[in-house]
Structure 1
Amino acid sequence: MSTHFRPSRRQVLRNTALGFGSLALADLLHAADAGGAPKPHFEPKAKRVIFLFMKGGPSHLDTFEPKPLLDRDDGKPYPGPRPRVVFAKTGNLLKSPWKFKKYGQSGSPVSDLFPHVAGCVDDICFVHSLHGTNPAHGGAALKLHTGSDNFVRPSMGAWIAYGLGTANANLPAFVTVCPTLAHGGVNNWGSAFLPASCQGVPLGNASTPFEKAKVKYIENPALTRDAQRTQLDLLADLNREHLAQTGPDGALEGRLESFELAFRMQRAMPEAEDTSKETDKTRALYGLDDPVTAPFGRQCLLARRLAERGVRFVQVTHSDDKVQWDQHGNLRRDHAKNAREVDKPIAGLLKDLKARGLLKDTLVLWGGEFGRTPTVEGGGNDGRDHNPEGFTVWMAGGGVKPGFRYGATDDYGWHAAENKVHVHDLHATILALLGLDHERLTYRHAGRDFRLTDVHGTVVKDLFA
């Protein structure tokens, strides 16, 4: 059990009276109760996270990290060492088809793919030296989301929900908007052995039309709220008797709490999902007036609405059934398509959060499961292979340095070379910004203590404002 939990008197009494399992779970059941919410280990810089996941692996070399030597040596053999394990056969060096310019007072370079995000660089903290270990989508996505590429482990959002609870008892602590069902699928937003109430609540999935990205079965047309309340009370009575005989049962207790949360969500979630009362100006800011940007724009607008209503971790996935960001070929066409869909909505989200005073304590994280190689894939001249050895993510708000660039890949962009940041380090840093010590946020399971960073991770304090 996490060492930082101290149950309130109210929770102890509730646990004793109902027999509903462990004190750690009781903390989560009423995380929003006065005096009963889980407390951070130290003063947090951020209260919540919005994770913008670019499924498939956007190219750092074509978006946020220009490489002059790559431009100079276009078409020549790569002169450095290649990784021992590669995903596919690659050829000679391939320069970026897009031009880079420096923006803002910080002078941060951004390619022509992201003209709207370019206007926000003075609020962004770029990390150009992230690296992982797995060149396959499934393993790399799981590594980024859960800290492990070969075991089922709780996701980052689930750990944060476990550590901090929700600031709104009528909404989940963790919501995932249009998540992908491939390459790790539900494990990317699952709770594994953590309490079931920590898992992400999905709004649609990657193949769901954006206007239908809602929580399923949020309404019960067959029963009134009073009738549902009577059912739940009867269920609690029956299980009270059952647990008195059998003792704590985490799976059962998690299921009961999910029933209670679903009941409370019937009023709160439809209101949070309803964007119809947003002003025309706000809707245009997110690109809802353009069919190209409207799908991801609505996802970003939902993220802001959920975050301001107390959801701790909101994951927003840009993906589809065909293209994603995985350009082994058609790099020029499909990276441009993807960027057009997300550029304005992302910039709109940053500007909206800042205007509402939310950016200062909301950590926005952008990135994919890996980057792309500086070499061309196969024998063509319009694609790049997977590259977990060095790539870019960026953060904004939530206590990170604005207008800041940290780390770098090598001269051609294949390997993280300067101020290297492993995925475990990124997780440790995110938890620290939320006031959580990654070495203390643990959960006892199968005879040992587990944590998001396992036995690794170093907080990158140079990123702190």
Structure 2
Amino acid sequence: MNTSFPFNPMETRRGFFTRGGHLLGSAALTSLLGEAFLQQASASASVNHGAVPLGPHFAPKAKRVIYLHMVGGPSQMDLFDHKPEMQKWYDKDLPDSVRKGQRLTTMTSGQARFPIAPSKFRFEQAGQCGMWMNADLLPYLSKSADDMCFIRSMHTEAINHEPAIAAMQTGNQVTGRPCLGSWASYGLGSMNQNLPTFVVLVATPTNREQEQAISSRLWSSGFLPGEHAGVSFRSKGDPILFINNPPGVPDSVRRRTIDGLNALNSLNFQRMGDPETQTRIQQYEMAFRMQASVPELTDFASEPEHTFKMYGEAAKTPGSFANSVLMARRLAERGVRFVQVYHNNWDHHSNVSGRMPSQCKDVDQPCHALIEDLKQRGMFDDTLIIWGGEFGRTIYSQGGLSKENYGRDHHPRCFTMWMAGGGAKGGAIHGETDDFSYNIVKDPVHIRDFHATVLHLLGFHHDRFVFKHQGLDGKLTGVEEAHLVKALIS
């Protein structure tokens, strides 16, 4: 019997065809192509599959990332894209020459009118860069304007939340592909063997009027090895489910149990060769190590009182955005490579004037504090902070219009994001939109371009940072052309 292909009474049909489906064809092709083919195949087999970090292509500017995603799509003209000319257009219809027949969601496509709703908030120029920012709602963050790199010309094809968030996180509107955090984990690996490389925190907004559903599909490792998926931390109860031993089970028993499981999994790996079995072994070991590291991480008692003054009193409330951002800093300083924070309820189809103050109060002070905190700890220069949503909002009102109450529909044609630290060019203001904040008139930045730029800051050429999947070179930036935006890099 050929011992390299042993009899397995538990063999599945899928496993059999996976291991033997191309055997005859491969043998025939090898005999035709000869020794050169064998050497090339051997080299291809050495492609990294997650056990060892791939490593950067060049020296990175950023060692770690804290990504603050505002779920729902913040209104750019109410925060960063100042359009004073729109005050003259109050309640006038958006001109067809501006809309140009562009696709609308079904929430407003049937409206008889598209009445323009200028922002009711006061804007001021901030910092030496002179960036116009909402002075009413962002008083803290305005102080950091010269540390922030503003992109006012972001755009996407996705017009609804699920595909738009998927595109922003994974580079593709269809879920199931690796997200940015998983790519960072795959490429750079861990800086702390006792904590995950990629952690996800879901903050609870103060106002919960219209939240969007988010799920683990957004922090999936996709076709990358499972070890690169995000690990979600909870705000209540155990930070991670089943992190603690059951009552009456000491660490010594848990250690013997894991050793036994690992031995069985190793036998299974030798027999079946499934790389996800190796992932399972590594995750069991990580879970055991986290039993000691996570309690210390989540205990904020060691934080001095001035930290809470910096982030705001809400930082003491588990699950709040301020608490999540402070946790992100603690994770980053302990070597977690990528921290993803989601903050919901930015889907302002109605009551913009009522909900926007609450949303901004949640994020304004903590975001400014994070920048200052990282500076004080000497971490700002190599920690990249990203802030933004999945698309923007329309200048015209959804439904009725009054100065006290108006709504804004989804708008993928232009929106604003910002970065800070980690090699991003502080004080830069990139891109321009028209007077209606509806179309881009200068320096457009597609999501693919944004991803290519973030990967560059992490030390990777986006077109060479690949993973073999189903015979193709899978990339975060996909198959369409992406451009590095050098103007965003310091």
- Does the aligned pair in 2 maintain the 1:54–1:317 contact within 8 Å? yes
Does 2:162 match 1:138? Answer: yes
| Pick aligned residue for 2:137 from 93, 106, 113 | 113
2:25: which partner in 1? none
2:265: which partner in 1? 239
Decide whether aligned partners of structure 1 residues 219 and 327 sit closer, same or farther in structure 2, where only a CA change above 3 A counts. same
- 1:286 partner amino acid: Y
2:461: which partner in 1? 437
> SS in structure 1 opposite 2:61?
coil
1:7: which partner in 2? none
- Does the aligned pair in 2 maintain the 1:293–1:340 contact within 8 Å? no
Instruction: Measure the CA separation in 2 of the matches of 1:228 and 1:148.
Output: 40
2:102: which partner in 1? 84
Cα distance, 1:423 vs. partner?
Answer: 0.5
> SS in structure 2 opposite 1:328?
coil
2:303: which partner in 1? 278
- Does the aligned pair in 2 maintain the 1:407–1:418 contact within 8 Å? yes
Q: Which moved more, 1:404-413 or 1:77-86?
A: 77-86
- 2:56 partner amino acid: P
Cα distance, 1:81 vs. partner?
Answer: 2.3
Cα distance, 1:244 vs. partner?
Answer: 2.3
Does 2:281 match 1:264? Answer: no
Cα distance, 1:251 vs. partner?
Answer: 2.4
Instruction: Measure the CA separation in 1 of the matches of 2:317 and 2:243.
Output: 28
Q: Which moved more, 1:448-457 or 1:365-374?
A: 448-457
TM-score, normalised to structure 2's length? Answer: 0.83
Does 2:241 match 1:216? Answer: yes
| Pick aligned residue for 2:182 from 140, 152, 158 | 158
- Does the aligned pair in 1 maintain the 2:391–2:412 contact within 8 Å? yes
1:200: which partner in 2? 230
Structural mapping, 1:13-412, within 5 Å: 24-27=49-52, 38-79=54-95, 80-82=98-100, 84-87=102-105, 88-89=107-108, 91-111=114-134, 112-178=136-202, 183=213, 185-204=215-234, 210=235, 212=237, 214-222=239-247, 223-246=249-272, 248-288=273-313, 295-319=320-344, 324-381=345-402, 382-412=406-436
- 1:84 partner amino acid: Q
Instruction: Measure the CA separation in 2 of the matches of 1:291 and 1:129.
Output: 36
> SS in structure 2 opposite 1:159?
helix
Instruction: Measure the CA separation in 1 of the matches of 2:385 and 2:238.
Output: 21
Cα distance, 1:83 vs. partner?
Answer: 5.2
- Does the aligned pair in 2 maintain the 1:191–1:199 contact within 8 Å? yes
Instruction: Measure the CA separation in 2 of the matches of 1:93 and 1:234.
Output: 66
Instruction: Measure the CA separation in 2 of the matches of 1:438 and 1:163.
Output: 11
- 2:102 partner amino acid: R
> SS in structure 2 opposite 1:120?
helix
Instruction: Measure the CA separation in 1 of the matches of 2:446 and 2:119.
Output: 25
1:416: which partner in 2? 440
TM-score, normalised to structure 1's length? Answer: 0.87
Instruction: Measure the CA separation in 1 of the matches of 2:316 and 2:252.
Output: 42
Instruction: Measure the CA separation in 1 of the matches of 2:314 and 2:289.
Output: 33
> SS in structure 2 opposite 1:26?
coil
- 1:415 partner amino acid: N
- Does the aligned pair in 2 maintain the 1:135–1:388 contact within 8 Å? yes
Unaligned runs of 5+ in 1: 1-20, 28-36, 205-209
Unaligned runs of 5+ in 2: 1-45, 205-210
Cα distance, 1:212 vs. partner?
Answer: 5.0
**Larger radius of gyration, structure 1 or 2?**
2
Instruction: Measure the CA separation in 2 of the matches of 1:418 and 1:339.
Output: 28
Cα distance, 1:304 vs. partner?
Answer: 0.2
- Does the aligned pair in 2 maintain the 1:78–1:375 contact within 8 Å? yes
Taking every aligned residue pair, what percent have the same amino acid on both sides? 40
> SS in structure 2 opposite 1:314?
strand
Instruction: Measure the CA separation in 1 of the matches of 2:448 and 2:303.
Output: 38
- 2:220 partner amino acid: G
Cα distance, 1:326 vs. partner?
Answer: 0.9
- Figure out how many residues of one structure are paired with residues of the other and give that number: 426
Instruction: Measure the CA separation in 2 of the matches of 1:175 and 1:59.
Output: 27
- Does the aligned pair in 2 maintain the 1:65–1:109 contact within 8 Å? yes
Cα distance, 1:385 vs. partner?
Answer: 0.4
Instruction: Measure the CA separation in 2 of the matches of 1:167 and 1:435.
Output: 16
Decide whether aligned partners of structure 1 residues 183 and 139 sit closer, same or farther in structure 2, where only a CA change above 3 A counts. farther
- 2:225 partner amino acid: P
Instruction: Measure the CA separation in 1 of the matches of 2:202 and 2:400.
Output: 35
Instruction: Measure the CA separation in 1 of the matches of 2:360 and 2:238.
Output: 21
Q: Which moved more, 1:46-55 or 1:281-290?
A: 281-290
Instruction: Measure the CA separation in 2 of the matches of 1:203 and 1:290.
Output: 16
